Copies of this chain bind each other. A is one copy, B any other.
Amino acid sequence: YRGLSRAQLSFDYLHTNSTTHEFLFGALAELLDNARDAFATKINIHSISDSSLRGGYMLCFLDDGQGMSPEEASDIITFGKSKKSLESQMIGKYGNGLKSGSMRIGNDLMLFTKKESNMTCVFLSRTFHEIEKLDEIIVPMPSFDANTKRPVTRTPRDKEKHTQEMELILKYSPFRTDAQFMKEFDKIEKTSGTLVIVYNLKLLDSGEPELDVKTDPYDILLAAQDDDSHDGLMPERKSFRSYASILYVDPRMRVYIQGKKVRTKRIISTLYKPRLYKYTSARFKSRSEREAKKSEEDARNAEHRAREAESKAKDLEIKCGKMPDKEQRIELRKAQTHALELRKEAQLRRLISERKIKSLKEPKQLNFVFGVNLENRSRDGMFVYNCSRLIKMYQKIGPQLEGGVLCKGIVGVVDAPYLVLEPTHNKQDFADAKEYRHLQQAMGEHMLQYWRDIDIAQQGVSKFWENFGYISPNWHALPSSDPKYVRKRTAKVQITLQCDLCLKWRIIPYSSNNISKVFPDDWVCSMNPDPAHNRCSSAEEKMNLPEGLLKKIVKTKEQKE
């Protein structure tokens, strides 16, 4: 179809695409997701002052992940292209996070990446487009040999392209000389990794950048304007450090903000009387059946294509005979490579299909965990993760929506796989409102069950809370800091810390010394007083949450209303 028209991207689309991130930290999170998907063990988000840039600084995301080859880096600029979709553990699926996220934060993006013997830079600059009035999106992507630091160019045309690309980068980026530019690659210390730089940041009406890196030198805050009030906002919406601490349900990557490590928080471990409810739905089964069927079809089709390419290559080989000329040899090699690629693809597809068919037998269920937030009862609601990544937080459900004290103070946590729910573009919501409503409803019912199971109502709700120091009748007031109450609250919830080395969670045995104690950010297993779990080699303790069961209650029509 060479003669036909193709869908294209216009420059303005970079903005269109970025409006999806109405929650600014959601845009930053996209860049964390990418590092996690690249198996980084560490990412540092930090600012570098530069008064020549809009906003006064550039925001950098430096990770030690697997990096990208020049070919992989060039996939970045194909919107929607994502190699990740095959492996279900990955968060990125849409092939869009880097673009939508970075373009929400700033005008310009530079990405430096190192993999094996290659170093590549991707330069997506709106400033360049604006000044030169370009309507197409043109993206310089020079590559270098990681050892010699010389450009990777094979043909004279490659060379010309490289020269032009570097001219543009030195003209429009913060790096004005080759040396300055090349120094950025050196920031990636290991043999692989990626450095993302966003600059010429979006400003508020006041002229200040939206992301405030001044007020707290170790945090990135949502900037407040004169007539703004952030009072009512949850900390995770004001402080990126807070948000990052709960972004993943199972943190496998160390996140640093301005060089200081983010203490990860496993929400479930912070709750009083946590309890697990297993929830299954016929929907999940029919959906996984459909998925399995589709993947089986995919595999069959891929095998068919592979066989076809193989016989074509075979055919060509016969035709060429024993003494093929140069042109024939090139053609033959092409055909053989193509066949090999298709065969590999077919094998992968078959593997995926087999895995899916096998997983059909596994129970399809969601784990709802509920518990009481003793430290701040007004911070309640549902936390919904999707494939380990936080999508919704503090979402009130069921009785919590009705204004009474019923279920207030209860936190619920669930991690729903893609099979059950697919997130939207911006990963702050789910693509199908109806499906999500269904989940909310189910969680609401289970929350009510939990409320009954833990018997708060029986002893009296006010009395329950008073017992933990909630003396003020104002629901939103913090509990008393009287030591007797602090002790009560602390004794009821175990302290759980993540080891900085092995990333396992460790439960610290109760000790009155631990009340209000601040543990170091780089806490490691060897600091654990529990002798059974003071080495990285010892296994993580199972949570062993007590299980609850939903008892169906038939509602009268009156109650339903």
A residues near B (Cβ < 8 Å) are: 1, 3-17, 19-24, 74, 77-82, 85, 93-96, 124, 133-141, 157, 160-161, 164-165, 205, 210, 222, 225, 227-229, 231, 233, 281-283, 286-287, 290, 301, 305, 402-404, 422-426, 429-434, 436-438, 441, 474, 476-477, 558, 560-561
From known contacts A13-B80, A74-B5, infer whether A424 and B286 are also in contact, taking CB-CB under 8 Å.
no
- Complex alpha-carbon distance, A74 and B9, angstroms: 12
- Complex alpha-carbon distance, A11 and B79, angstroms: 9
Would you call A80 and B14 a contact (CB within 8 A)?
yes
* Copies in the assembly, this chain: 2
The minimal Cβ–Cβ distance linking A79 to chain B, given in whole angstroms, is 5
Which of B6, B74, B80 touches A16 (beta carbons < 8 Å)? B80
Would you call A137 and B438 a contact (CB within 8 A)?
no
From known contacts A94-B19, A282-B227, A422-B19, infer whether A78 and B438 are also in contact, taking CB-CB under 8 Å.
no
The minimal Cβ–Cβ distance linking A407 to chain B, given in whole angstroms, is 13
A12 / chain B contacts, CB cutoff of 8 Å: 80-82, 85, 94-95
- Having A5-B140, A6-B138, A227-B281, one finds 5 other A-B pairs with CB under 8 Å, namely A6-B77, A12-B81, A19-B423, A227-B282, A228-B438
Would you call A79 and B424 a contact (CB within 8 A)?
no
Would you call A430 and B227 a contact (CB within 8 A)?
no
Would you call B138 and A96 a contact (CB within 8 A)?
no
A96 / chain B contacts, CB cutoff of 8 Å: 13, 16
- Complex alpha-carbon distance, A15 and B21, angstroms: 18
Would you call A434 and B24 a contact (CB within 8 A)?
yes
Would you call A4 and B286 a contact (CB within 8 A)?
no
- Complex alpha-carbon distance, A184 and B77, angstroms: 37
Would you call B13 and A95 a contact (CB within 8 A)?
yes
Closest to A23 in B: B433
Would you call A431 and B77 a contact (CB within 8 A)?
no
Closest to A137 in B: B7
The minimal Cβ–Cβ distance linking A69 to chain B, given in whole angstroms, is 15
The minimal Cβ–Cβ distance linking A112 to chain B, given in whole angstroms, is 17
A434 / chain B contacts, CB cutoff of 8 Å: 24, 210, 222, 228
Would you call B228 and A17 a contact (CB within 8 A)?
no
- Complex alpha-carbon distance, A82 and B10, angstroms: 9
Closest to A289 in B: B205
A432 / chain B contacts, CB cutoff of 8 Å: 22, 24
